[in-house]
Amino acid sequence: MASNSSYTIHLLAILHFLYFSQSLAAVLESSSSPVSPDTICKSTLYPSFCKSLLPRNDSCNIYDYGHFSVRQSLSIARNFLSLVDWYLNHQSTLSNIAIRALEDCRLLAGLNMDFLLSTVETINSTKTLPSLQADDVQTLLSAILTNQQTCLDGLQATASAWSAKNGLSIPLSNGAMLYSVSLALFTHGWVHQGMKGKLQTGRKLIFSDMEVGCLPLRMSNRNREIYESVNRRNLLQTTQDGVLVSDVVVVNQDGTGNFTTINGAVAAAPNNSDISNGYFLIYVVAGVYEEYVSIMKNKKILMMIGDGINQTVITGNRSKVDGWTTFNSATLAVVGQGFVAVNITFRNTAGAIKDQAVAVRNGADMSTFYNCSLEGYQDTLYTHSLRQFYRECDIYGTVDFIFGNAAVVFQNCNLYPRLPMHGQFNAITAQSRTDPNQNTDTSIHNCNIRATHDLASSNGTVKTYLGRPLKEYSRTVYMQSFMDSLIDPSGWIEWSGNFSLSTLYYAEYNNTGPGSVIPSRVTWPGYHVINATNAANFTVSNFILGDDWLPATGVPYTGLL
């Protein structure tokens, strides 16, 4: 718990940041105007570091500084990746879990390199970006910070990685500050208030000329025959444009399909596919698949369809207790952009006794889960980063069972807190935003929150909360959802004393049920009861710009309230 004096100092720092962020708006009314480093750096979380970084040139504008900081970010990311590789090549004294933590860092550092290269390419092309491109870049820069924090958290949680952590701590810290500065400069220079929701068309590339059952598809005759033979149910909504499929493969453990394992089918998917080419569709026949499935960054635009919840089951049991990092304990780990999962159960069966044990870790931009079940205990669903959507999914867990720092919307889902270990309480969410300029949030819209049978049978001895702040700027919103009586009247619970209670943003709008009663809620500065105007900011259309990319998936959604 923070002391009163340290809390006061922290609060003053936040007020200082907010004051200069507001006053800077007038200075940057014309973003192409020259501005001094001293002025521009007051808009960041790290003014001193920012001033030491930027060139002392009063003729520069915010775009010049933004280009400079992003190029510096790319350089430091490249050096950090080399340093992690060095430690992994000299690992004789490291334990397995330390090596796993470093491997997580290498994967995350590689993603940061990709994101920064994409950012440089985008902002070099023009000073003014369309709203979609601006949101893309802000999303990538937000994810870079999340990746850096995830690496640090993994090393700190690994006692035997101390030697590597000590050698990486300064590069990690400097990188985090630099990435934060780059995000702040981009947000002030390229992203403008009210931009979200005012979309240009531009990504919709799907045009259907036939229908197979209820799902309009474009595919070859061979693939159409395969799909007709395995799909006789209503899976995805019929859209005017349809769902474009480039290829279909079947996974069946009895050997009658194209593959007997899911990973085998994933490996066969084309690398770096584009939505204009259509989805590589993997149909997974009913069965229990004991696999750890990884959808890597080069496996883009992949759709995986099963035979239904509890019919097609992918299961594993990795956990923190058994020597895995939280990050790599996942039964399904997704990074490849545009991933879609339909009619599948994903499980981690490690149990409450094994602490952190992830069923699904999702760091895939514009990814979608529809009519899936995600089942675990502590840390069931790791919504790690980037833009995500979950529709009509069942999610089971105990402590922090939906956590991470994505821009994510859950819609028409069932959230099922279950019985934790003795002495524990349930927290449905633990959102981990670390920077005020990140465009991340957990938005829960039109969902149902009910206890599982084992929790209901505990006669109220276990408290269940809507969430708690894993990081300083944690953001979670519940809208138009049903909350049963299991929700504690206070609604939310702190992480550690006063930590983040002034900087978090937790909000509720027009929820129903006995657990939604407002008068006994927490009175934290960061807690809000919001109106429809504010709630609209957290909808599919406005928050994750779902109108731009969800139609291509065929998954139904409600864009607004």
pLDDT tens digit string along 373-395?
Answer: 999 999 999 999 999 999 999 99
Q: What is the mean pLDDT of residues 61-67?
A: 91
CA-closest candidate to residue 555, choices 412, 446, 363, 345: 412
Return all residues near 25 (Cβ < 8 A) that are at least 6 apart.
Answer: none
pLDDT above 60: residue 416: yes
- Residue 422: phi and psi, rounded to 5, are -60, 130
Contact predicate 473/437, CB 8 Å: no
Q: What is the mean pLDDT of residues 277-303?
A: 96
* DSSP 8-class letter at 138: H
pLDDT above 90: residue 93: no
pLDDT above 50: residue 366: yes
Strands 426-431 and 381-383: unpaired
pLDDT band at 408 (very low <50, low <70, confident <90, very high): very high
- Provide the mean pLDDT of the chain: 87
pLDDT band at 33 (very low <50, low <70, confident <90, very high): confident
Q: Return the percent helix, strand and coil in the chain, to nearest 5.
A: 35, 20, 45
Residue identified by tokens 């994510």 is 408
Q: What CA–CA distance (Å, rounded) separates 300 from 364? A: 9
pLDDT at position 440: 98
pLDDT band at 288 (very low <50, low <70, confident <90, very high): very high
Strands 387-391 and 448-449: unpaired
Return all residues near 6 (Cβ < 8 A) that are at least 6 apart.
Answer: none
pLDDT at position 5: 39
pLDDT at position 221: 58
Contact predicate 58/186, CB 8 Å: no
Return residue ranges of the chain for CATH 1.20.140.40: 37-190
pLDDT at position 91: 75
What percent of the chain is modeled with pLDDT above 90? 74
Q: What is the pTM of this model?
A: 0.90
Contact predicate 259/251, CB 8 Å: yes
pLDDT at position 124: 86
Assigned token pair, 168: 């990486």
pLDDT at position 236: 54
Return residue ranges of the chain for CATH 2.160.20.10: 294-553
188/515: higher pLDDT: 515
Q: What CA–CA distance (Å, rounded) separates 228 from 224? A: 6
**Per annotation, catalytic residue among 379, 400, 441, 548:** 400
Q: What CA–CA distance (Å, rounded) separates 466 from 457? A: 20
Q: Identify the three-state secondary structure at position 305.
A: strand
Annotation marks residue 394 as catalytic: no
Contact predicate 373/400, CB 8 Å: no
User: Which range, of 143-152, 187-196, 228-237, 457-466, averages the lowest pLDDT?
Assistant: 228-237
Q: What is the mean pLDDT of residues 453-461?
A: 94
pLDDT band at 57 (very low <50, low <70, confident <90, very high): confident
pLDDT band at 125 (very low <50, low <70, confident <90, very high): confident
pLDDT above 50: residue 257: yes
pLDDT band at 95 (very low <50, low <70, confident <90, very high): confident
Q: Identify the three-state secondary structure at position 294.
A: strand
Q: Identify the three-state secondary structure at position 508.
A: strand
Q: Is the CA virtual torsion 470, 382, 540, 278 positive or negative?
A: positive
Fold that domain 294-553 belongs to in CATH: Pectate Lyase C-like (2.160.20)
Type and span of the H or E element at 111: helix 96-125
pLDDT above 50: residue 10: no
Q: Identify the three-state secondary structure at position 241.
A: coil
Q: What is the mean pLDDT of residues 77-97?
A: 90
pLDDT at position 494: 98
pLDDT band at 117 (very low <50, low <70, confident <90, very high): very high
pLDDT above 80: residue 73: yes
pLDDT band at 11 (very low <50, low <70, confident <90, very high): very low
Q: Is the CA virtual torsion 263, 266, 268, 271 positive or negative?
A: negative
pLDDT above 80: residue 209: no
198/137: higher pLDDT: 137
β-partners of residue 217 are 243
422/214: higher pLDDT: 422
Distance from chain centroid for Cα 178: 21
Fold that domain 37-190 belongs to in CATH: Butyryl-CoA Dehydrogenase, subunit A; domain 3 (1.20.140)
Q: What is the mean pLDDT of residues 443-449?
A: 98
pLDDT band at 30 (very low <50, low <70, confident <90, very high): low
pLDDT at position 194: 38
pLDDT band at 201 (very low <50, low <70, confident <90, very high): very low
Assigned token pair, 139: 């999303």
β-partners of residue 32 are none
Q: What is the mean pLDDT of residues 315-339?
A: 97
pLDDT at position 223: 55
pLDDT above 70: residue 218: no
* Rounded-to-10 torsion of CA 21, 25, 26, 30: 140
Q: What is the mean pLDDT of residues 551-557?
A: 93
pLDDT above 80: residue 413: yes
User: Which range, of 173-187, 222-236, 255-269, 326-340, averages the lowest pLDDT?
Assistant: 222-236
